[in-house]
Amino acid sequence: MEVTIETAEEIENTGDPWTDGGQLSYRQLIWRRFRKNRMGVIAGALLLLFYILAIGADFFAPYHYNEINMRLRHVPPQRLHFSVENGFYVHGLKSVRNPESLELEFTKDLVQRHPVEFFFKDAAGRRHLFSSAGPMFLLGTDRMGRDLLSRIMYGARVSMTLGLVGVFLSIVLGSILGTISGYWGGWVDNLIQRIIEVLSAFPDIPLWMALGAALPPGWSSIQIYFGITIILSIIRWGGLARQVRGKVLAYRESDFVMAARAAGAGHWHIITKHLLPGCYSHIIVIATLAIPGMILGETALSFLGLGIRPPMTSWGVLLEEAQRVTVLLHYPWLIFPAVPVLVVVIAFNFLGDALRDAADPYSD
């Protein structure tokens, strides 16, 4: 049976939304309210910037993340200088062997100057936004002489996408099971709710640790990446499923669903056209607020050596090197990967908070 009725959205869009405030669609209203929240907009822009940097790390990072310089291990961060005739430059490095620890220590060589070149072409023919022919480590190097700044940028790829993929998985799982649970009720509902309760009875980090340790040692980096993603989302879908179930339960008995059923609509049509659209804003808010938890989870797991494994790199892998106090005291710059973790997590929290306020029809 074909019924051609204009959907609510089409009717709304026929009017000019800017002259008639009463005809804004729900999405436009959310966008309007969201733009008013300064912290939320800043956080969103910051995250966008971070994702662009992460995706374009090949270009934005001055070096490749696995470029090893065994003679330049644990170089402290170099300062960027600027002069009118030279442009940006860094000083060269002088190495001195410490007579006590027998470690090479680096100091500035004030005579040498390595200019920073933009759109630098390295030996392999890859273009970088900025790099230098001489050693230029703005955040220092690690125990294998790899540039920390580049490693952080490449690490962002793993750490930041893992949160997105993981949340996507838990959205899919949570919405499907939550809808089933709320729509059909009965024993199916009972079963799903009990499963969620059992899952939430585990403290998450110890369970993640156990599952992370159970990943086979022979797996490739990509397999580990998806393995960790699945592990992280396995526990987190429960909360989302509960929220969706609650919404679906509330809508199921509402007049418009009754009307749809009376008009002969099938289950699939009711769920996808009438029930789920009411949950979208909810789902997006919960997802945004769940991403930081996933990023922190991955960081914690990799930090303990149970998550992402080298040569793949993530912020947690980078922080693993900073695990021992003695190392940190000698090479304090190794803690630097903690900064992007903090910034991204705080930004996601602010963004989620702003979205929640914007999506709440009762605010302001």
Residue of 300, 289, 302, 274 whose CA lies nearest to 346: 289
- Quote the least distance from Cβ 207 to other proteins, whole Å: 7
Quote the least distance from Cβ 254 to other proteins, whole Å.
26
Cα gap 38→35, rounded to integer Å: 7
**Residue 297 gets which letter from DSSP?**
H
Residue choice 251, 350, 351, 356 for contact with other proteins (CB under 8 A): 350
Among 79, 98, 342, 364, binds other proteins (CB under 8 A): 342
Using CB under 8 A, count the residues that bind other proteins. 34
Task: State the Cα–Cα distance between residues 323 and 299, nearest whole angstrom.
Answer: 12
Per CB under 8 A, 218 contacts other proteins: no
Single out the residue of 104, 165, 249, 345 in contact with other proteins (rule: CB under 8 A): 345
Residue 194 tokens, joined = 């009990």
Q: Which lies closer to other proteins via its Cβ, residue 1 or residue 325?
A: 325
The whole-angstrom separation of Cα 149 and Cα 139 is 6
Positive or negative: CA dihedral 314, 320, 325, 326:
negative
User: Which positions from 272 through 331 interact with other proteins, judged by CB under 8 A?
Assistant: 292, 296, 299-300, 303-306, 319, 322-323, 325, 328-329
Any contact of residue 42 with other proteins (CB under 8 A)? no
Beta pairing, strands 104-121 & 127-132: antiparallel
H helix or E strand, kind and range, residue 209: helix 204-214
The 8-class DSSP code of residue 139 comes to: T
| Tokens representing residue 40 in the block | 């939320």
> Minimum Å distance from CB 303 to other proteins?
6
Residue number, 44 or 292, with CB nearest to other proteins: 292
Positions that interact with other proteins (CB under 8 A): 200-207, 209-210, 213, 292, 296, 299-300, 303-306, 319, 322-323, 325, 328-329, 332, 335, 338, 341-342, 345-346, 349-350
